[in-house]
């Protein structure tokens, strides 16, 4: 059992990383970690017994991502200690090896798609035997009991095809971090103080909520809002820091975009 | 002498056809007037003869079809008797089970449930007399419906269908089946 | 030039076959040494090419079969009823690639590599006939092991598994590696 994490564009940490790596526009750090972890926790809760192998593998991937991402997201010193940088090299090497292997299989998958397409251009003859040929073959049902048939029915129905909807090429209307920063910079001064839950109450997609969160972090980095969380998993309190010296810079390209 | 492009196209269609193909349908596929189909099929037929192919193109009731040359019947019969395995494959048995428990059922419905083309398997089961066409579905398409035969019951040592062991029926009903069938887009992936 | 009697007989058998016919079976039917089958099939294949037939004789999944010439796909597709099947998703294709290269392989092994639960995808691939359970791993748990099927080879148009490119050839080059490494190092933007 390994956790499945499905959002429209990503499936699990490894797929996620692969997509990040393969499409050069996506920042490696913009990963919806909470979703990844949530899904995993749900999965673990369903386990009969703990699978240490899976658990530790997940922890390696997740902790590497969390480390990388937290450095990026949190306001902090501009440069980091080189010693600190070395921590986690081993994990990264492991991850790298796995990524490479996955890339090789992704390339193989592309090849398969091509072969399937080519092969589908030729259709085999399956008309079979003309019925006027004399067939003396033995009874094919020799030894088959009614119970065998019931079992076969069970097998056939247990494996119903899962209709596959390929979302690979679906593009969603994206809400940008830049737009959200601009919207919050208009809205927050009027509100003065609010909570994250309140600010995102009208939003319907997880994507919009994540983008709002990233926009708040941008404003926090700029010192325009203060963020406070009373307790773990508590609601995030957001307060506008009045500053009339200069407006919040807005416009496309100023902020890293979330491509989830 | 190489075949004309039109004769090639007709040959390809006849190769994949399971039933005789009417001249009108060939004309439609090739976007040609129907009068031109007969001469093309003659060309094809003549080419098979002159090159001594192992099959011939013949006109029978309902259209044109490819069949093995009568000379070669001994090989074909030997193949029919040697080439078939002496037991039903797991896939064939599962298809038979679906027909037995869900009858009457169309090929497309079985295909939708099994996720694969079942034409060959259905043909085999029909050929061996385990299932038979029993009618047509109402509505567009009028798909042929299959049911098990008396021979099937006999081979399983049963008198009536309701003597089959009860199964937990996890399959979707007719409406859901139709929907499932629709979702399976008719794209060939091999 | 007319076909030899042996090539004709092979053609007739392939015309009635519903799946690739192994050389050994053809040899048995024709009462010939198996070494003579390959040259005969080559003769047949070459005759189809030189006469511009609408079909070809190919070696696939360990046997020989007759299939339509790829040129004529537009006509054949229009004729339709060539199979009910939907395209495989990228995730399914990648899982299939892992099974193809690492077989026999367990679900847990695939999952460890892909980093996600693959139960659904494996079930889909098994259901579509691309892969099948071929045994159980030794040791505790006795995980079911999966391998690709003959249908997989058929749908990819391959004769044997070793026609797939070696996995080493598929690994990204040194530049890609450097790029990956760079992206994974903890850069903090100021």
pLDDT tens digits, one per residue of C55-72:
999 999 999 999 999 999
pLDDT of amino acid B190: 36
Taking alpha carbons only, the member of A71, A72, A62, A53 closest to residue A35 is A62
Q: Which residue has the tokens 């090429």?
A: A169
CA distance B183 to chain A (A): 7
pLDDT of amino acid C112: 82
pLDDT of amino acid C1: 73
Rounded to an integer, what distance in angstroms lies between the CA atom of residue A138 and that of residue A142? 8
Q: Which residue has the higher pLDDT, A127 or A257?
A: A127
- Lowest average pLDDT, out of A171-180, A191-200, B90-99, C88-97, goes to A171-180
- Lowest average pLDDT, out of A221-235, B118-132, C65-79, goes to A221-235
Rounded to an integer, what distance in angstroms lies between the CA atom of residue A109 and that of residue A116? 10
Q: Give me chain C's average pLDDT, please.
A: 85
A223 phi/psi in degrees, rounded to 5: 75, 20
Rounded to an integer, what distance in angstroms lies between the CA atom of residue A117 and that of residue B190? 7
Least CB–CB distance from C67: residue in A1, A100, A124: A124
Burial class of residue B41, CB neighbours in 10 A (0-12, 13-18, 19+): buried
Collect all residues with Cβ–Cβ distance below 8 Å to B102 and sequence separation of at least 6. Answer: B109, B171
Least CB–CB distance from B68: residue in C2, C16, C75: C16
Rounded to an integer, what distance in angstroms lies between the CA atom of residue A259 and that of residue C169? 31
Q: Give me chain B's average pLDDT, please.
A: 82
Check CB contact under 8 Å for B68 and C30.
Answer: no
Rounded to an integer, what distance in angstroms lies between the CA atom of residue B84 and that of residue B76? 12
Check CB contact under 8 Å for C54 and B114.
Answer: no
For residue A118, is pLDDT > 90? Answer: no
- Lowest average pLDDT, out of A50-64, A112-126, C90-104, C114-128, goes to A50-64
Rounded to an integer, what distance in angstroms lies between the CA atom of residue B53 and that of residue A73? 74
The model's confidence at residue A39, banded by pLDDT at 50, 70 and 90, is low
CA distance A234 to chain C (A): 28
Contacting residues of C for B116, CB less than 8 Å apart = 83-85, 127-129
pLDDT of amino acid B55: 95
Q: Which residue has the tokens 């080559």?
A: C42
Give the DSSP letter of residue C20: P
- Lowest average pLDDT, out of A232-236, B30-34, C185-189, goes to C185-189
Q: How many residues comprise chain B? A: 190
pTM, rounded to two decimals: 0.56
Alpha helix stretches (DSSP H) within chain B: 5-16, 23-30, 37-50, 73-82, 90-102, 107-114, 119-127, 150-156, 174-183
Residues A67 and A88: beta-carbon distance below 8 Å = yes
- Which chain A residue's Cα is nearest to B127? A131
Rounded to an integer, what distance in angstroms lies between the CA atom of residue A50 and that of residue A48? 7
Count how many Cα atoms sit within 13 Å of the Cα of residue C110 in the half-sphere of its side chain.
Answer: 31
Q: Which residue has the higher pLDDT, C129 or A229?
A: C129
Rounded to an integer, what distance in angstroms lies between the CA atom of residue A4 and that of residue B95? 32
* First CA to last CA distance, chain A: 25
Region of residue B154 (phi > 0: left; psi between -120 and 50: alpha; otherwise: beta):
alpha
Check CB contact under 8 Å for A98 and C128.
Answer: no
Report the DSSP beta bridge partners of residue B145.
B106, B135
Residues C128 and B115: beta-carbon distance below 8 Å = yes
Count how many Cα atoms sit within 13 Å of the Cα of residue A149 in the half-sphere of its side chain.
Answer: 27
For residue B116, is pLDDT > 90? Answer: no
- Lowest average pLDDT, out of A171-180, B29-38, B180-189, goes to B180-189
Q: Which residue has the higher pLDDT, B173 or B118?
A: B118
Contacting residues of B for A129, CB less than 8 Å apart = 76, 80, 127
Rounded to an integer, what distance in angstroms lies between the CA atom of residue C138 and that of residue C140? 7
Give the DSSP letter of residue A226: E
Residues C37 and C23: beta-carbon distance below 8 Å = yes
Q: Which of residues 20-49 of B touch A (CB under 8 A)?
A: none
């Amino acid at each position: 059992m390994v956790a499945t994490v499905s959002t429209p564009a990503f499936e699990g940490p490894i797929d996620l990383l692969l997509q990040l790596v393969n499409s050069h526009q996506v920042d490696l750090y913009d990963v919806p970690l909470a979703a990844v972890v949530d899904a995993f926790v749900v999965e673990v809760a369903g386990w009969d017994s703990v699978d240490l192998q899976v658990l530790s593998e997940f922890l390696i991937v997740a902790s590497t991502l969390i480390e990388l991402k937290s450095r990026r997201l949190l306001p902090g010193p501009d440069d980091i200690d080189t010693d600190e940088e070395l921590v986690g090299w081993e994990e990264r090497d492991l991850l790298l090896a796995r990524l490479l292997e996955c890339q090789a299989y992704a390339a193989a998958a592309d090849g398969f798609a091509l072969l399937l397409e080519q092969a589908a251009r030729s259709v085999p003859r399956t008309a079979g035997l003309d019925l006027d040929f004399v067939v003396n073959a033995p009874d094919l049902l020799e030894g088959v009991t009614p119970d065998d048939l019931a079992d076969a029915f069970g097998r056939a129905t247990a494996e119903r095809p899962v209709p596959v909807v390929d979302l690979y090429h679906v593009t969603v209307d994206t809400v940008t971090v830049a737009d959200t920063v601009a919207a919050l910079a208009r809205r927050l001064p009027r509100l003065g103080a609010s909570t994250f839950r309140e600010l995102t109450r009208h939003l319907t997609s997880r994507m919009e909520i994540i983008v709002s969160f990233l926009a708040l972090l941008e404003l926090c980095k700029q010192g325009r809002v203060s963020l406070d969380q009373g307790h773990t998993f508590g609601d995030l309190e957001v307060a506008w820091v009045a500053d009339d010296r200069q407006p919040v810079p807005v416009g496309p390209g100023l902020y890293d975009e979330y491509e989830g | 002498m190489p075949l004309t492009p039109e004769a090639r196209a007709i040959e390809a269609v006849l190769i994949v056809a399971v039933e005789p193909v009417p001249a009108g349908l060939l004309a439609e596929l090739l976007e040609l007037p129907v009068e031109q189909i007969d001469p093309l099929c003659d060309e094809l037929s003549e080419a098979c003869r002159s090159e001594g192919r192992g099959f011939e193109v013949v006109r029978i009731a309902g259209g044109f079809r490819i069949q093995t040359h009568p000379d070669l019947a001994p090989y074909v019969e030997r193949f029919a008797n040697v080439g078939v395995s002496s037991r039903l494959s797991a896939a064939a048995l599962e298809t038979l089970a679906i027909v037995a428990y869900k009858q009457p059922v169309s090929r497309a419905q079985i295909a939708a449930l099994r996720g694969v083309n079942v034409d060959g398997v259905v043909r085999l089961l029909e050929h061996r007399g385990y299932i038979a066409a029993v009618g047509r579905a109402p509505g567009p398409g009028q798909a042929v419906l299959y049911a098990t035969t008396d021979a099937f019951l006999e081979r399983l040592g049963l008198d009536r269908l309701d003597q089959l062991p009860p199964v937990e029926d996890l399959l979707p009903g007719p409406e859901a089946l139709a929907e499932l069938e629709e979702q399976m887009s008719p794209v060939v992936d091999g």
